[in-house]
Structure 1
Amino acid sequence: MSGDRKVGVAVDYSSSSKYALKWALDNLADKGDHVVILHVHNNKGAETGQSQLWEKSGSPLIPLSELRQPNLVKQYDLTPDSETLDMLDTAARQKQIIVVAKIYWGDPREKLCDAVEDLQLDSLVMGSRGLGSLKRVFLGSVSNYVVTNAICPVTVVKEPGFKP
């Protein structure tokens, strides 16, 4: 079944999302698969041209090779770190996977579920922020919402040794 899956990974460049990305690349990605890096800008206040143009559908798919270009990074207000990009470059080369990124603007809970449907993802991987039960009640949990509402299997990866 290699080569016919689309695996989404929610990435915000935090340590927990980088761990989830590493887990997805090590355990799910296989030769010919598409790995879609999903980034959601939660700041609706920043009314840039891109956020207004692609507010509902998200950005066009961005090839991995373009994620290192300073103009593109600035255009989408991304801050990918070299560790994440190196991890993606290595996996793309060694596992022969296709890596693209897509940016959304809005509520991460809703936009991740939208991405699953829009991109017809076979699975979604995301990190856990490790909120305690009290904080989760007041702040809500993106992972709980996505697990409950996404139309594909969702894997929530918790960073080892992480304490809320």
Structure 2
Amino acid sequence: MAKARVVGVAMDFSPTSKLALRWAVDNLINKADHLIIINVQPPSADHTRKQLFEDTGSPLVPLEELREINFTKQYGIPRDPEVIDILDTASKTKGAKAMAKVYWGDPREKLCNAVEDLHLHSLVVGSRGLGPIKRVLLGSVSKYVVTNASCPVTVVKGKQSSNSCH
């Protein structure tokens, strides 16, 4: 019997991060795996739980608690029915255990920290597909994580718009 793996998905609730979550469920998750969505709040965020968990990140939050409005208020993340639905599907059809963890700070550093902290076997991130100038100015989270994370990282690209230059 295969050993359960721990798969993380970077989640900022953008369409690309939801695409990454769907990709992970469809392509990586097997029975009894742990699927952890990892949300990184900006350092300036001021939520009730930040003071308690700013250094370590929140405790792992089970899927049942993600549905509660209290959770979203305490941690400052949206209550997103689409994400809950994807996690429910992974739980029911694949037997995966779905959870979430919230960090505060620079997403590049915190996602790499999460790999160690959560003992991830794999991390899936979405790519916003910034152009070369924006990438230089803003930096690419996915590029940084691919370069620095200590586990395999899959970058799921967003859908290209039909009017983009090739």
**Aligned partners of 2:129, 2:84: CA distance in 1, in Å?**
24
**Aligned partners of 2:87, 2:47: CA distance in 1, in Å?**
27
AA paired with 1:113?
C
Shift of 1:84: 1.2
Aligned pairs for 1:2-151 (under 5 A) are 2-42=2-42, 44-151=43-150
AA paired with 1:41?
Q
Q: 3-state DSSP class of the match of 2:39?
A: strand
Does the 8 A contact of 1:126 with 1:157 survive in 2? Answer: yes
Q: 3-state DSSP class of the match of 1:99?
A: strand
Shift of 1:72: 1.4
Does the 8 A contact of 2:69 with 2:79 survive in 1? Answer: no
- Let me know the Cα RMSD of the aligned residues: 1.4
Shift of 1:45: 2.2
AA paired with 1:112?
L
Does the 8 A contact of 1:126 with 1:156 survive in 2? Answer: yes
Shift of 1:90: 1.2
Q: 3-state DSSP class of the match of 1:56?
A: coil
Does the 8 A contact of 1:3 with 1:34 survive in 2? Answer: no
Shift of 1:53: 1.6
AA paired with 1:158?
K
TM-score scaled by length of structure 1? 0.94
**Aligned partners of 1:38, 1:46: CA distance in 2, in Å?**
16
Q: 3-state DSSP class of the match of 1:110?
A: helix
Does the 8 A contact of 2:9 with 2:124 survive in 1? Answer: yes
Does the 8 A contact of 2:47 with 2:76 survive in 1? Answer: no
Choose 60-69 or 49-58, whichever is displaced more. Answer: 49-58
Shift of 1:91: 1.4
**Aligned partners of 2:67, 2:113: CA distance in 1, in Å?**
26
Q: 3-state DSSP class of the match of 1:59?
A: coil
- Structure 1 stretches lacking a partner, 5+ long: none
Deviation track 1:114-159 (CA, whole Å, cap 9, x = no partner) reads 0000011000001001101111111100001111110000000002
Shift of 1:3: 4.3
Q: 3-state DSSP class of the match of 2:49?
A: helix
- Structure 2 stretches lacking a partner, 5+ long: none
Deviation track 1:30-54 (CA, whole Å, cap 9, x = no partner) reads 0010001100001x22333421221
